Amino acid sequence: MLPHFGPIVQNAFVVRDIAAAVDYWSTKMGVGPFYLLEHIQYGDVYFRGAPLKFDMSVAIAQWGDVQIELIQQHDTAASIYSEFLNRHGEGLQHLGVMTASLDEQLARLAPLGIEPVQWGATANGMRFAYLNTDRQAGGMIELIETGPAVEAFFAKIRKAAAAWDGSRPLRRL
Task: Answer yes or no: are the C-beta atoms of 79 and 54 closer than 8 Å.
Answer: yes
Residue 2 domain-assigned (yes or no): no
In a domain, 3, yes or no: no
Instruction: Give domain status of residue 170, yes or no.
Output: no
| Structure letter (DSSP) for residue 3 | -
Domain of residue 117 covers: 8-164
Share of residues in the chain with pLDDT > 70 (%)? 98
pLDDT at residue 2, rounded to an integer: 66
Where does the pLDDT of residue 77 fall: very low under 50, low under 70, confident under 90, or very high at 90 and above?
very high
CATH number at residue 114: 3.10.180.10
Q: Are 3 and 58 contacting, i.e. CB atoms less than 8 angstroms apart?
A: no
pLDDT at position 31 is 98
The verdict on pTM exceeding 0.85 is yes
Query: Is residue 93 in a domain?
Result: yes
Torsion over CA: 148, 150, 154, 159 (sign): positive
Pairing assessment for the beta strands 170-172 and 42-47 based on DSSP bridges: unpaired
Question: Is residue 96 in a domain?
Answer: yes
How many separate domains does the chain show?
1
Q: What is the pLDDT of residues 6-38, one digit of tens each?
A: 899 999 999 999 999 999 999 999 999 999 999
